[in-house]
Amino acid sequence: MLPTGIIALYSRLIDLERWLKKARDALSDLSTVIQKKICMLGDFAVGKTSLTRRFVEGQFDDRYLSTIGVKISRRSINLPDLPVFNMLLWDLAGSEEFSGAQASYLQGASGALLVCDLTRRATLASISTYVQRLRKVSPQVAIVIAGNKEDLQEHCEISPQRLADLAEQTGASWFTTSAKTGTGVEQAFQNLAQQIMGIPLT
């Protein structure tokens, strides 16, 4: 028969070992998953929700259902030599005037996809306003400008040169995209992730 003191000590040691294992697992999760907040911004109906859906679910819908408030979705991507990278996509409602309420959604953003609709010239002009508001809240935020609906070439009102000029002024990257066909979508999000993690852009 072992003395009760030794049995109690032994069971404490087992508890301690269990606790250490849990702590080790939690630490290894922390070191293998990086999660960053990305805001989808742009005027109404430019395609923020559609680009998010294309990127997260690989799907497209022709119907227009305006976003109310915010919808958050997530997709993991692989980056060279890095642990799992989770993109938390905050799909915000578009609006002509940037309201105070929306500014509070931008807190803590590491990156933003600023979307304009290539078939509506006015949606490009709004992007500068979004950039200013965004940088006020998150000065170091990484930005990609997406000229969306590139499948509607015959109605295009914004030239690639104008997108390139705006991107240069803004210190952003730019892509033409189509949520409908998928053109440029992976590349735009991949570029954003690389900017956020400081991985050289190719």
Ligand X SMILES: Nc1nc2c(ncn2[C@@H]2O[C@H](COP(=O)(O)OP(=O)(O)OP(=O)(O)O)[C@@H](O)[C@H]2O)c(=O)[nH]1
Point out which residues bind ligand X (CB under 6 A): 42, 44-50, 61-64, 66-67, 93-94, 148-149, 151-152, 178-180
Q: How many residues lie near Mg ion (CB under 5 A)?
A: 3
Nearer to ligand X, 67 or 79 (CB): 67
Q: Where are the alpha helices (DSSP H) in 84-121?
A: 100-105
Using an 8 Å Cβ cutoff, are 20 and 94 in contact? no
Please pick, from the candidates 36, 67, 77, 120, the single residue that binds Mg ion as defined by CB under 5 A: 67
By CB under 5 A, tell whether 183 contacts Mg ion. Answer: no
Residues in CB range of 191: below 8 A, 6 or more apart: 144, 173, 175, 201
Nearest to ligand X of 37, 149 (CB atom)? 149
27 Cα distance to chain centroid: 25
For residue 49, state whether it binds Mg ion (rule: CB under 5 A). Answer: yes
Whole-number minimum distance, CB 65 to ligand X, in Å? 6
Q: Note the helical H segments in the chain.
A: 4-32, 48-57, 100-105, 122-137, 160-170, 185-197
Q: Which residues bind Mg ion (CB under 5 A)?
A: 48-49, 67
